[in-house]
Structure 1
Amino acid sequence: MSRPIMIACAHGTSSELGAAEVNTLCTGIAALRPGLDVREAYVDVQDPDLTAAVAGLPAGETAVVVPLLLSMGYHVKVDIARAVKSRPGTLAAAPLGPDPRLAELLDRRLREAGVTDNDAVILAAAGSSDAAAADNVEEVAAQLRALRSNRIVAAYGASARPSVPEAVAMLREEAAGGAGEGRPAGAGDLGGRVVIASYLLAPGFFHDQLAKAGADLVTAPLLPSPVLAEMALVRYDAAVAGNAS
């Protein structure tokens, strides 16, 4: 029996660099699993559109849609779910996050950027109106706190609060000795920099906005990293195994 086709489904971006990074990720997934048919699709901006990709599957073939997305949210619950429902036998895997390996990758990006224990860190996600997405981001923030002693707060590019600029302002106030919303008792003056940890897959609109938020430093996005290709295959395998059980 042939293995289901993997449809690696990303958000989509108008950034040439971001698109190239996602394309390289899909190539990396295929390289890790020779013989697996890996196809790209997108829920916005880029083609092939996910619905069209599912509709264009060969007759008699099944597929697993693996969201190359970092949180549960509208695109997973609505766009991907709708596309999967349109083709009997097609499955949806879980998104890449939350996952401790993402926290480890964020920690690596912070170390690469020279972030010290005295710096305050904003975990900056794209944002979603879906409460589950914010819960997912907070879970990764907690995992990152287990790896680092920094003051770490989650913030969002859109659709959720606090926004990234709001979080920057809050941490500036803390550093100046102000109360700061959500400041832990006994936190003391931070005295270091305000750093944005980009919790985004690749360069694009949201990552570009981080540079305008007023922080001292913005880390690179998660890609490129072989960890993400490995995680996508774990999600694929879990979906296949769950369907077989």
Structure 2
Amino acid sequence: MPRPALLAVSHGTSDAAGAAAIALLVRRVAERLPDVDVHEGFVDVQQPDAPSTLAAIDGPAVIVPLLLSQGFHVRVDLGRAARPRADAVVTDPLGPDRRLAGILARRLDEAGAEPVGPVVLAVAGSRDPRSLPDAEGMAALLAVRLGREVVPAYLAAREPSVPDVLLSHPGAPVATYLLAHGYFYDVTRRVADSAPVTEPLLDDGEPPVELVDLVVDRYRAGEAELARAEA
């Protein structure tokens, strides 16, 4: 029996480098799952949109949000797209996860951040209350990984803002908790002023193996959920 298709859904970006990095991540996931039909869709900015892509998939599908927290896009946009189909499931988003903490720690090293003192975790921010524990959970995981204080700060929609946290922690490095280059990364660079800022989880090179593993694991969890529902 064929395995369910994988629909990898990211936010979408007008930044060419960011879009290319996410597309490469999806290709590397497809290479890890050669017996799975892998599709790419978006919730905003880019096409094809997730509902149209899902409608074109004949048979069961696992929707993996390439998003870092719960929120409107995961539970409303993607949930609404999957709801009419008994053979489609939306998995958890990518974060929080210890593997992301490992990538963030590596990005801090690459940025030349000092190994002492607090770190500011720059999060896009969402008005959806479900996103808050995910951001705080990611900060806690990174604090454990680094053995130092990590303060979550937001680029939009929530407080404290990144500039406000940097006022309290001048010179602290900013760990960019974003999937790829795009609007919010540009905001991060601007509001961080002279503070060291890391690359996002995806840079211009190969996607981190941990991130590929994470997407594959989300797919397998969704596949198991569909199998249980069918049984």
- Once the two structures are TM-superposed, the CA of residue 215 in structure 1 deviates from its matched residue by 4.3
Q: 1:134 and 2:132 equivalent?
A: yes
Where does residue 194 of structure 1 map in the other structure? 172
Contact 1:138–1:154, Cα closer than 8 Å, also in 2: yes
Change (3 A) 1:215 1:119: farther
Where does residue 219 of structure 1 map in the other structure? 198
Aligned 1:89-238 pairs, distance under 5 A: 89-172=87-170, 193-213=171-191, 214-223=193-202, 224-238=207-221
The alignment's C-alpha RMSD in Å is 1.2
- Once the two structures are TM-superposed, the CA of residue 117 in structure 1 deviates from its matched residue by 2.6
Provide the rounded CA distance (Å) in 1 between the counterparts of 2:117 and 2:111. Answer: 12
Where does residue 8 of structure 2 map in the other structure? 8
Provide the rounded CA distance (Å) in 1 between the counterparts of 2:194 and 2:147. Answer: 19
Letter in 1 for 2:189: A
Where does residue 54 of structure 2 map in the other structure? 54
Which sections of structure 1, spanning at least 5 residues, go unmatched? 173-192
- Once the two structures are TM-superposed, the CA of residue 81 in structure 1 deviates from its matched residue by 0.2
Letter in 2 for 1:80: L
- Once the two structures are TM-superposed, the CA of residue 119 in structure 1 deviates from its matched residue by 4.2
SS of equivalent to 1:209: helix
Letter in 2 for 1:77: R
Tell me the TM-score normalised to structure 2 length.
0.93
Contact 1:195–1:216, Cα closer than 8 Å, also in 2: yes
SS of equivalent to 2:68: coil
Letter in 1 for 2:145: L
Provide the rounded CA distance (Å) in 2 between the counterparts of 1:116 and 1:149. Answer: 13
- Deviation string, structure 1 residues 6-55 (Cα, Å, up to 9, x no partner): 00000000000000000000000001111211100000000000011111
Letter in 2 for 1:198: T
Provide the rounded CA distance (Å) in 2 between the counterparts of 1:231 and 1:160. Answer: 27
- Once the two structures are TM-superposed, the CA of residue 156 in structure 1 deviates from its matched residue by 1.1
SS of equivalent to 1:217: coil
Letter in 2 for 1:205: Y
SS of equivalent to 1:34: coil
SS of equivalent to 1:232: helix
Provide the rounded CA distance (Å) in 1 between the counterparts of 2:197 and 2:188. Answer: 7
- Once the two structures are TM-superposed, the CA of residue 82 in structure 1 deviates from its matched residue by 0.5
Letter in 2 for 1:228: L
Letter in 2 for 1:121: V
- Once the two structures are TM-superposed, the CA of residue 120 in structure 1 deviates from its matched residue by 3.0
Percentage identity across paired residues of the two chains: 42
Letter in 2 for 1:239: G
Contact 2:88–2:226, Cα closer than 8 Å, also in 1: no
Q: 1:84 and 2:62 equivalent?
A: no
Provide the rounded CA distance (Å) in 1 between the counterparts of 2:167 and 2:107. Answer: 23
Q: 1:74 and 2:72 equivalent?
A: yes
- Once the two structures are TM-superposed, the CA of residue 151 in structure 1 deviates from its matched residue by 3.0
SS of equivalent to 2:75: helix
Provide the rounded CA distance (Å) in 2 between the counterparts of 1:241 and 1:215. Answer: 47
Tell me the TM-score normalised to structure 1 length.
0.87
- Deviation string, structure 1 residues 43-89 (Cα, Å, up to 9, x no partner): 0000000011111122xx11110000111111001001001113331
Provide the rounded CA distance (Å) in 2 between the counterparts of 1:101 and 1:117. Answer: 19
Q: 1:37 and 2:37 equivalent?
A: yes
